[in-house]
Amino acid sequence: MSKTPRFTECILFEDENFVFINKPSGISSLEDRNNKETNILQMAKRYCVDAQLCHRLDKETSGVMLIAKHNEAFKAMADKFENRNVHKVYHAICAGQLHVNNKAIVLPLSITAKGLAKVDIKNGKKATTLVSTIENFSSFTLLSCIPETGRLHQIRIHLASQNFPIVSDITYGGQYPYLSKLKRDFKTAKWENEQPMMQRVALHAHSLSFDAFEKKYSITAPYPKDFDVFLKLLAKYDKETAFYSPTI
C-alpha cells in the first residue's frame, strides 16, 4: 500500500461544523479489532480532538467523507442520515456494457455470519439503489449510483445481483481488469507478471449534499489517481464499439 497521506492533504472543505475529506482507499474508517493500522477516525482526532465520523466508507472505497467537529454537528447529521436527508452519489466501474437511467434496484439485504451482504427476500431489510450510466466503453461501464438506503455493501451487492459486478470486487464476483485483454501488442517486462489496471474495488464516493445550520453543503471528491488512470486507459484502449447494450 502506498504511504498514508497527511490528514490535511485529504481535506476538501471545512468550516466551524464539519470537515469533508477525500478518503484514500486502503484506510479503514474505524479501528478494526484485528487490525492496528491507522484509521480515519484516529487521523481526524489528531486534527480535531472532538471529531466524530458521521458515516463510514469501506476500506477499499475512496471519496468524500463527512466528519463532525463537535457533538451538536454529529447529532444533527445522525438525524439527517437516519431520515435519508443526505444525498450521496457514488461512481462505480462495472464489467459489461449497460445503458440505464435512474434504474432502481430494489432488493432487501441482510448480513451473513461472515459479515458480508446478501440478497435476502424473506428476512432482509429494504434497500434501494438508483443506477445511471455515465459513460460506456466496449467492455466496461462507468455508473452513477445513488443509495437511497445505507445497507452494508449495498451498491456492491446490488450491482453484482444484476450480473454487473464492480471491477476488482472479488468478494462479490468482480474480476481484475488487465490491459493485455484490451491492447493487442501488450508486453510485460521480462520476469514480471502483469498487474491489474485497477487493484481495488472500483468504487468512489463522488459527492455529498445536505442542508444544516442554515447552510447548503455540496462537496465533490475528485477521482484518486488509480481510478482516474483506469478510466483513461479504458478511453484509449476500450472505446465504445458495441451496437447492442443490455439493460438491468
Distance CA 123, CA 108 (A): 8
What is the pTM for the complete model shown?
0.92
Set 50, 58, 169, 228: catalytic member? 58
Closest CA to 53 of 188, 208, 196, 187: 208
How high is the pLDDT of residue 186? Answer: 78
DSSP 8-state class, residue 222? P
Let me know the angle formed at the C-alpha of 143 by 66 and 240, rounded to the nearest 5 degrees.
145
Q: What is the pLDDT of residue 243?
A: 41
- Grid cell at residue 221: 471528491
79 classed as catalytic: no
What pLDDT score was predicted for residue 203?
98
Predicted local distance difference test score (pLDDT) of residue 113: 94
Residuewise pLDDT in 10s, the chain (248 residues)? 457 899 999 999 999 999 999 999 999 999 776 667 789 999 999 999 999 999 999 999 999 999 999 999 999 999 999 999 999 999 999 999 889 999 999 999 999 999 999 999 999 999 999 999 999 999 999 999 999 999 999 999 999 999 999 999 999 999 999 999 988 887 776 667 889 999 999 999 999 999 999 999 999 999 999 999 999 999 999 986 444 445 55
- Nearest Cα neighbor of 211 from 61, 29, 17 is 17
pLDDT at 2: 59
The helix (run of H) or strand (run of E) holding residue 80 is helix 71-82
What are the structural domains of the chain?
Answer: 7-237 (3.30.2350.10)
How large is the C-alpha radius of gyration of the chain? 19
